[in-house]
Amino acid sequence: MLQIKQLLKRYPTGDLALQRVDMAIPKGQVVALIGPSGAGKSTLIRCVNRLVEPTSGQVILNDRELTKLNSNALRVARRRMGMIFQEYALVERLTVMENVLAGQLGYVGFWRSFLRKFPQSSIDEAFRLLDRVGLEEMIDKRADELSGGQRQRVGIARALIQDPELLLVDEPTASLDPKTSRQIMRLICELCEERNLAAIINIHDVALAQMFVQRVIGLRLGEIVYDGPPTGLQPDVLTEIYGEEDWQATIEKVDEEDEEEAAAAAVAVAVVVEEGVGS
Amino acid sequence: MSVATSKPLGAARRWKKPPFIKRPLLRWGLILGALIYLVLATASIEVNWLRVYEGLDRGWRFVLAFSQPDFISRWTDIREGMIESLVMTVASTVVGIAISVPIGLGAARNIAPLPVYLICRGIITVSRALHEIIVAILMVAIFGFGPLAGFITLSFATIGFLAKLLAEDIEDTDKSQAEAIKSTGGSWLQWINYGIQPQVMPRLIGLSMYRLDINFRESAILGLVGAGGIGATLNTAFDRYEFDTAAAIIITIIVIVMAAEYSSGVIRARMQ
């Protein structure tokens, strides 16, 4: 459904962020994109909806070439690509409801959105989504009154009300505690399954990625160095992606995930351990 | 693992904040130069103490007039001048804001394309370069004496102030919030309305209230060059040596400025 061909991005500073990346993602597949900071993960997903303009190469969503679209056609195409951000990127002075309805901006005219007179169907959908992510009580709160986990739930609802075919998710858990991180990852993956959505999730936390996704792509210096199932992330692969480090603890932790949390906490160095199994 | 024991006594390492200007010669040279300039500059001011002594008497009469301000004998003039000033102030602030907002949007580098940016910055620079009094003299020359010249002057001055500060606030907005709105596929106007406006609204309102304040105070001055308002009345009072009436006018101005200051403070506090 999503095809990326020979995607190359060179920033004006001369940095080559993406070096002819190729990938294809079928409908309904959730992919984790891992790699060290500066590997080009953020650039890659922003090149898909052209928040960052790619230098060359093609991005094809459902047979439509996104890299060639003019600005109006791009707006139409962006409606079907929901995006979830690291620091939530909610408009802080707007209410939860306004933030969610902002996901409908591509579908309604300026005056309707300016007067906050959204169609009833949009409002119904917003209520449904807020129920689904567990924020039915928060509708008229301002976004900056919410906790990190709640904000990210609003961010998820905003992306989903776009009725997307593809989710672009940029470090959804980087600002969250370990327990909330898992809840958010679980929620995103569940929703993708319910709606048969494809998703690219940039994520730093390898163990967390392994728990939830079917496929992992490893990026290093703008090149794909691993593409396969999460179980294939052996120490040599992680070394290839991130560089030399003791990876044993990270991998063991995932293996023992369902067995005993005390043991896991003892061996693991990764941050995720604190939380345990039950949540 | 105590750090203290690992070092022999007496070898404590000293630390001082590095100086702002590294080269000692340059640093002391600048300090010395500033001092010499200060002494010379102060010495160059000529004070005619005899004139001051005579002037004290006049000043004292002026101060005395404040103890018995005369609101009565010229009340009609004061009232009309005040109303004229207030009308001028409110009208010029409203018009000034209405023009400033689009110019401010255009002058923010993060949302406007380069040509638009340069034009809008140019307008702001012109408005800021010309002092109100100079603009007022020009406007009086074009439109004749009266509040119309003052109204246009103040509207023009408002642009330089409000558009510049609004543009700077827009440039300081959080990029990710705007990016998120852009990624939903909204139009440019929707992007401004959802992504930018909520971030700058409190400051825009605060600045507008502040500008209302400034415009009122300026309107009292503009009368001196014939651009209408309470300043004209004040000028007449001074010309006739009616210090008690002048005192009444100044007290009225102070009261109104304080009231505006207080209410704008309340409004800004409520806006977060």
Residue B174 lies in a domain: yes
- Residues in chain B, overall count: 272
Residue B150 lies in a domain: yes
Q: Does residue B140 sit in the same domain as residue B250?
A: yes
Give the list of residues 6+ apart from residue B193 with CB closer than 8 angstroms, or none: A110, A113, A114
Q: Does residue B112 sit in the same domain as residue B228?
A: yes
Q: Does residue B153 sit in the same domain as residue B100?
A: yes
Domain CATH number, residue B257 = 1.10.3720.10
Inter-chain touch A158–B198, beta carbons under 8 Å: no
Look at residues B61, B83, B112 and tell me which one is the last residue of a structural domain.
B61
Residues in A closer than 8 angstroms to B203, CB to CB, are: none
Look at residues B61, B84, B114 and tell me which one is the last residue of a structural domain.
B61
B residues 158-177 closer than 8 Å to A (CB): 174, 176-177
Q: Does residue B249 sit in the same domain as residue B127?
A: yes
- Residues in chain A, overall count: 279
Domain that holds residue B95: 71-271
Residues in B closer than 8 angstroms to A43, CB to CB, are: none
Q: Are B86 and B79 in contact (CB under 8 A)?
A: no
Select from A87, A102, A168 the Cβ nearest to the Cβ of B194.
A102
Token couple for A115: 């007067």
Number of domains in chain B: 2
Q: Does residue B120 sit in the same domain as residue B225?
A: yes
> For B183-209, what is the mean pLDDT?
92
Residue B66 lies in a domain: no
Closest CA to A27 of A125, A227, A228, A167: A167
Residue B102 lies in a domain: yes
Q: Which long-range contacts (CB under 8 A, 24 or more apart) does A211-214 make?
A: A211/A182, A211/A185, A211/A254, A211/A257, A212/A30, A212/A32, A212/A185, A212/A186, A213/A30, A213/A31, A213/A32, A213/A189, A214/A29, A214/A30, A214/A31
Q: Does residue B180 sit in the same domain as residue B233?
A: yes
The answer to whether A105 contacts chain B (CB < 8 Å) is: yes
Residue B7 lies in a domain: no
Cα distance between residue A151 and residue A155, in whole Å: 6
Q: Does residue B84 sit in the same domain as residue B198?
A: yes
A2-10/A16-25 β-pairing? antiparallel
Q: List the pLDDT tens digit at each of the 279 positions of chain A.
A: 899 999 999 988 888 888 888 999 999 899 999 988 888 889 999 999 999 999 999 999 988 899 888 888 999 999 999 999 988 899 999 999 999 999 999 999 999 999 999 999 999 999 999 998 988 888 999 999 999 889 999 999 999 999 999 999 999 988 888 889 999 999 999 999 999 999 999 998 888 888 889 899 999 888 898 898 988 888 888 888 888 777 777 666 555 554 444 444 444 444 444 444 444
Condensed to tens digits (0 to 9), the pLDDT of residues B90-105 reads: 999 999 999 999 999 9
* pLDDT, position B257: 86
| Among A51, A76, A91, the residue to mutate for chain B (most B Cβ within 10 A) | A91
DSSP secondary structure letters along A112-159: HHHTT---HHHHHHHHHHHHHTT-GGGTTSBGGGS-HHHHHHHHHHHH
Residue B250 lies in a domain: yes
Residue B2 lies in a domain: no
Exposed/middle/buried for residue A3 (C-beta within 10 Å: 0-12, 13-18, 19+): middle
Q: Does residue B158 sit in the same domain as residue B249?
A: yes
Residue B18 lies in a domain: no
Cα distance between residue B205 and residue B189, in whole Å: 20
Look at residues B40, B61, B82 and tell me which one is the last residue of a structural domain.
B61
Cβ atoms within 10 Å, residue B168: 15
